[in-house]
Amino acid sequence: MHKAAKVLMLLWTIFCVIGVIVGLANVSSTPQGDQYQQAGAAIGTALGLGFWAMIWFFPTVGLGIIALVTRPKERPVEVLEKPTLCPSCGKYYTGSPKHCPNCGQLVGQAVTAGR
């Protein structure tokens, strides 16, 4: 539904822009008359543009809300724990155990010679 709402918003916007362009072209092609006819054409143009703005705005806002509500949820990225090197056996392990899971040596203790 998310993508469909976005496509419908785009198509609706294109349709409304075409309607405004056609309306403006129609007004500009009318023969110029006296002062009152020009004022009437200007008022008609303003009303027509207002009409197109309203029929564009309200459906687009509705479709925008639908697109926002139905958008896919972002999944959190898993942070992998950095492996730690055992000073005794030289193997890597993850987590924070008290003893190395490979050799059993206490983690953090100095390795003594002869052991």
pLDDT tens-digit profile of 5-48? 888 888 888 888 887 787 777 766 666 667 777 777 777 777 87
Residue 78: which pLDDT band, with cuts at 50, 70 and 90? confident
What average pLDDT does range 73-80 have in this prediction? 76
pLDDT, tens digit (0-9, with 9 covering 90-100), for 54-76: 888 888 888 888 888 888 888 77
pLDDT tens per residue, range 90-103: 888 887 778 888 88
Distance between terminal CA atoms of the chain?
Answer: 66
If you compute the radius of gyration of the chain from its CA atoms, what whole number of angstroms results?
35
For residue 52, the tally of other CB atoms under 10 A from its CB is 20
